[in-house]
Structure 1
């Protein structure tokens, strides 16, 4: 496990279970990276994070930080990380898993979202620059004007039906992506799975992409909320869940990837 700040301080920020990647080779392929803006598990075999977890509050979603598009290798991973040449030609977007717009409060934290350890290949028009961006904006809206003071957000790829590999590092292109949103105060959780294809730019029916946490665990090979009592896991993970609503107008909720 590595961090660009005091590791104990970094880990204390993420006060719920870290996702647990199952599999015999997990110990050799996983690298945990902890930062102020996110904590992730980087997979050296796929050259993408298996999961990225954020802890969002309204104070972090508003601020002066600007997106600079300064994509670069993660200095905490060195040559293990993917790099910009893997994404040339631009067949797929360099898709943020922890969005830059989630770190508006601090320029350095915003800049750190552009490390390739936080990227996974995503279809551009109609997905990363379409419905996925709208989902990210929707989650920010839940915090800013939807009555959810604090949310944990876990995002990552699903490698069922992969689309091949790109670049000299052979970065695996996921078949779909998941996002899990947990409200620790209300003890509510909802999960989404969206196929990595051109869908469009509207999110009129979020419920069609809702998927149970148990199903996402099956699809990813990852255990979420592992230390929850079994009864609580059954109640919150096995049901399909319901997409939450928010006010139509929400100042500050919009933001780029």
Structure 2
């Protein structure tokens, strides 16, 4: 089955990532000097990718694409589903094919799966800590440049949902926009007048709520509010628009903030600070 994501060109990503590792275009670049000097061209390997820690899996189809780019005839078996929670020692993928191709693609494939599985694993931890089916965990735009579609995919595999994908699909009015516009209400009105459909307005004080709603905000981001203040804000909004808690949210605070009645909780560290999952790949000569 072909792996596709909106706004993401898998073939180009694989090509550019391998080109970077091989040093294409650089003096002496364009090859894996170690594998070409040590491994016979016709040598074959079998390989097993496995988890070393408990993880939530994400990115195996991308890893498969790296190996197939260098050996289209490689035999590859994905042993677990994307988004599946697995125990340490679980085999994730089996491979059999050209040894040089496996060794050249290995680091790019592993880096991708380790990074995406790390995100998915952290997201799952936050979902479990939130323990609230009535509140949705969101990511943010705090992503590594060039990797946003993949990182936001990993968030979904972990059980979270995506905030806006970029600057284009919703207006998000923050303090600097308000500073220039002069007030929350004026900033929202300008977005409404521009014909923007989805207008998220950040408020950090209760007295900003009514002006934002009256001007036409379609969602309120309640920034850096403690649980009692969040409850008061939710009561003022009275379900007229969805509400989102953001700022100061970690594994210790998310349950209390989600329990205030907000519809969403957004956490930047899901993509910004997730540690790589511990995943290995062992080869056997054939």
TM-score (normalizing by structure 1): 0.27
Tell me which protein shows more helix as a share of its residues.
2
TM-score (structure 2 length as normaliser) = 0.25
Specify the structure having the higher radius of gyration (Cα): 2
**Whose strand fraction is larger, Structure 1's or Structure 2's?**
1
